Structures are given as structure tokens and as C-alpha cells.
A and B are shown apart, each in its own frame.
Chain A
């Protein structure tokens, strides 16, 4: 039982690392968005109803998506065979 508690603690720790890294990288990336990425946000906004467009396409969501890419790039397990 103590052994399994230790593993659970490690899993909780990894979860916390993942969530903190996601938020941290999002905050870092939000100020690094390129002009192209900002144009992309503006273009996509035109597809939504005007009242909610900014909710679904904004700098935060774009930056979060980039942070997920950066994190999951480390978790590409078929990379070795490319």
C-alpha cells in the first residue's frame, strides 16, 4: 500500500507538472505570437457569430494550442523511427 501511495503521488506530481507547464508556456507564448498567427485569429473570427467570436478565437487560445504542441512534441513515441 505505501508503495502504491508513492506511485499515486508521482502521478499527481506529473499531472501538476503538465498543467503548470501548459499554463506557464501559454503565458510565455502569448507575447510571442507572430503577425501571421494574429492574422489567423482575425480570419477565423469571421466564421463565428459576432457576439462570441472573441471567446473562441483569441490570443490565449492560440497560445494554449502552441503550448500543447510544445509539450506533446516531447511525447511523440514514434519519433525514433522517422
Chain B
């Protein structure tokens, strides 16, 4: 018993260290999704409303993508007490990731808990704002509570409640949680003599789900679903579905390649470590061997494994791990069965210890690469740009957003821009149709700052600063349009990533005059002088 307590404490400690190490610094910078969640939490803590002035939205409009809102609400307190920064916005993810390890220990045993503690996908999703990580902890927590309610039926409403709560944390859970509730309902209906706890649980779940259901069919909330869905004939869609569904079970993706999206994956690591395929195979064998004795726990996990990739396979994205993260829990559980079997041989205990040590070194190595190779993916340079803007608060500044359209939110996040100023731009009639605005915001004006793409025919004839990356303004363009370099903003490896130029409309106009070209309307003031 004492050994079990010590090992549990050590696993939780390891989980906290891996997730909490450099929490605010790695991933470096802030991703757009993180900034929207964090800035809206800040907006709620200051004004009680989101950046558009909406009180208690069920899902946030955000940048027109309508992400789930629970993470933002959970982040209000950390932002209130720690201020708006990288640590405060990632704290809930860290807590959810650590809670998942505890839930895994309680639900599936210490070995599964250890695997969740060290597995790359779970560590990574706990180190940054991934709403799916919070949803996962609520979903798996709900499942474990429902299992426990076989002995204590009074826990059933809590379990159903957690499942429904997970639907407010991430969209994919809307499908998974409902299927699980239907599955558990029929199971407990047959099993319980007194149906009262089940009835209460179903009523609680229905009441909790009503707000989300009421907005689930609005055009804005579903816009992301339409944008992501695969275009083509029925047969093309069917083949695409099978291909994507199989991709989520492909050892190539699970143990070697990982998520192709740079923001959703760690460098040089996949979802699991390479060696984990061995316990997975032995675990599958254990499951097949005991197929006649599978109980509710095993059946639930297998159901979760099968249904989770379904919504993700209906999209056009290949192997999107954020959408299927619940399926990795049954996989970890199967691996733990395999390890338990292999540990009967004492030699394997040494092997497992060695492999976990090597894995931790691999994880460290990957985190170092994450910091240095993916700093631009995580918008590291925009923090320094925000500081530059702060220092030049009186000067008009145009920020080119060709590469990252909604980057205004990064500036608002880093400079703690007054949310009241954003809110004042939206009237009541706009708020009445809050869930129907999926249109992108092409131009955002924040006092002296304008965020949009450069319009060359206009912007070089205005006296202002222009901030852009190396692709947006080349050296030749700068020379041709008499742009004077004011500031170079470096990335984490000290390479220039952004540049700030000062326009020189007078010089530009005189060069146009020399070329005898038709002067721009803004040149007239200089010509008259």
C-alpha cells in the first residue's frame, strides 16, 4: 500500500515536472488560438463580456471560428490573479493534463498513469492552450465516475454532467459524449433496479446540454464544420472517410510521423514513442484472449477507440490529433495491458525502465527543438513587435497580416488592449445575431494601429510605419518605395523575422514626378508645397 502511494506520488510529480517545465516559455510565443482564449478571458475579467461585448456566450465568436468557450471561462481566474500572460493562459491546460494522469491512475492503474504522464501527445497538449486537453480530462473523468457509479449509483448524475461539460470544452466531444451517454443509459437501464439515479442523470445532462444545443445549428457555429468538410461526390467522400479513418490507426502516424501540422506536434516525436508499438501489440493480444470476459470498462474504452475518429474523418484534414485525442486513452490502456503481461518477465522491467529513461531524453531533445525550430509557428516575434508598438504609441503603424490574418489578437493580447474599445464597435443588432458572424475581419483598427495587408498604391503615400515580414516587403520593394528601415525584430535564433519601415511619401512623390508618371492623389500636397 505504501509502495503504491509512493509510486502514485512519483508519477504525478513527474507529470507536473514535464508539463510545468518552462510553461510560459516553451512553446515560445503565443499561438492565435491561445491569444483569443486568453484575451477573451481578460475581457471577461475586466468587463464581464467577451471582446465583442457579448455576456456569457455559449461558444465564442473569437476570430470567426467559434471555438468552445469553457477553456476561456476557466482561464478568467488565473488571468485575474496572475495577469494576462503566457503562464496564466496555459495554467488550466497544465492542471487538466495533470488531472488526466490522476484519472488514468484511478481508472486504469499505475502503469497507464505512468504512460499518460510521459506520452508526447499528452505532455505537449498540457504545455499550451489546447481546449481539447481540458475536454479530454472532463470526458475521461466522466467515464471513470460513471464506472464507479456501478457501486455508488448516486454518482451517475456527476458522471453524465462531466460528459456534457466536455462538450462545452471542445466541439468533437459533442458527438463522442452523446454516444457515450446513450451507451451508458442503456447499460444502467438494464442493470439498475431503482432507475431514479439514471433518470436524474439524464435530466441533468439534458438541462446542461440545452444552451449548447440551442446554438449548435446556427450558421456561424457550423461554419467551421462546413469549411472543413470534404468536397466531392459521395464515392469520393466515402473513400476519403475510409482513408482518414485508417490513418488514425496507422502505426506510421502513431509511432513515427505524428501530426503534420507544426503547431499540433512536437519535432522528431510522434503521438507515442517508437517502442510503444511493442506493448500495444501484446495488449491487443491480451484483449483478444479475454474477449469473452470484457466488462463495461473494456467495452467503453473500445467504443471510445472506434467512435472518436469518426467526426475527424469527415473533414479534409489528414491525421489531426487535436480532434481525436480521446482515442489515445484506450490505446494507452491497451499498452498498459501489454506491459502488465510483459512485466511477468523481470528482464522486461529493466528494459521498460531503460526505454522510459531514453524516452524522457527524447522528450527533452524535442522540447529544445520546439523552442528553436518552431518559434515562428508560435508567433514568438510578435511579442517584441507589441513592445515596439507600445514604445511608439503616437505614431500610425500598419501591420501586414498576409501570413497570419487574425494577428490583431496577438497585439491586443501582448499589449493588454482595452477590450471596451473593441466592444464599442459592435451595436445591439450585431450582438443579436452573435452566432451568425463567421466572416473574417480583414481590417482591424486599434487606436494608432491598423492591421491588414499592405495596399501598395495607398500605403506608401501616407506618413506611417509599416511592420511586415520578409516576404511582404522585400529589400527591392523597400528601395523602390523609399522605405526607411526603423527596426529589425529577431526570432529566438537571432534571425530577422519582422521589419518595421518608415514611409517617405515626399521622396516617393518626387521620384514619381521624376519618372513623369501620373502623381498619386496623396502626392498633390507635396507637389503644391
Contacts and interface: CB of A to CB of B under 8 A. Distances in A.
A77 B285 contact: no
Given A72-B257, A81-B239, A81-B242, 10 more contacts: A11-B282, A14-B281, A15-B281, A47-B369, A55-B361, A56-B365, A68-B255, A68-B274, A75-B250, A76-B251
A81 B252 contact: no
16 contacts: A11-B281, A18-B277, A44-B369, A48-B368, A56-B364, A68-B256, A68-B274, A72-B252, A72-B256, A73-B252, A75-B250, A77-B246, A77-B251, A78-B243, A78-B244, A78-B247
B327 to A, nearest CB: 15
Contacts, number: 60
A11 B256 contact: no
B371 A47 contact: yes
Interface residues of A, number: 25
A47 B368 contact: yes
B278 interface: yes
Interface of B (DSSP majority class): helix
B372 interface: yes
Most chain B CB within 10 A, of A14, A65, A69, A72, is at A72
Contacts of A68: 255-256, 274
B251 A75 contact: yes
A81 to B, nearest CB: 4
B289 A69 contact: no
A76 B252 contact: yes
Nearest to A15: B278
Interface string B256-277: 1100000000001000001001
A21 B364 CA distance: 26
A10 B182 CA distance: 39
Interface string A1-17: 00010011001001100
A40 B125 CA distance: 27
B422 interface: no
Interface string A43-69: 010011000000111000000010011
B249 interface: yes
Interface in B263-318: 268, 274, 277-278, 281-282, 285, 289
Interface of A: 4, 7-8, 11, 14-15, 18, 22, 44, 47-48, 55-57, 65, 68-69, 72-73, 75-78, 81-82
Interface in B122-154: none
Contact of B285 (A7, A56, A72, A73): A7
Nearest to A72: B256
Would you list the 5 A-B pairs with minimal beta carbon distance, nearest first?
A81-B243, A72-B256, A75-B251, A78-B246, A47-B372
B251 A8 contact: no
Interface in B318-374: 361, 364-365, 368-369, 371-373
Contacts of A65: 268
Contact of B278 (A7, A18, A72): A18
A68 B274 CA distance: 8
Contact of B368 (A14, A56, A75, A77): A56
A47 B289 CA distance: 48
A72 B257 CA distance: 9
A54 to B, nearest CB: 12
Nearest to B274: A68
A5 B509 CA distance: 87
A56 B246 contact: no
Nearest to A65: B268
B371 to A, nearest CB: 7
Nearest to B257: A72
A46 to B, nearest CB: 8
Contacts of B239: 81
A11 B342 CA distance: 11
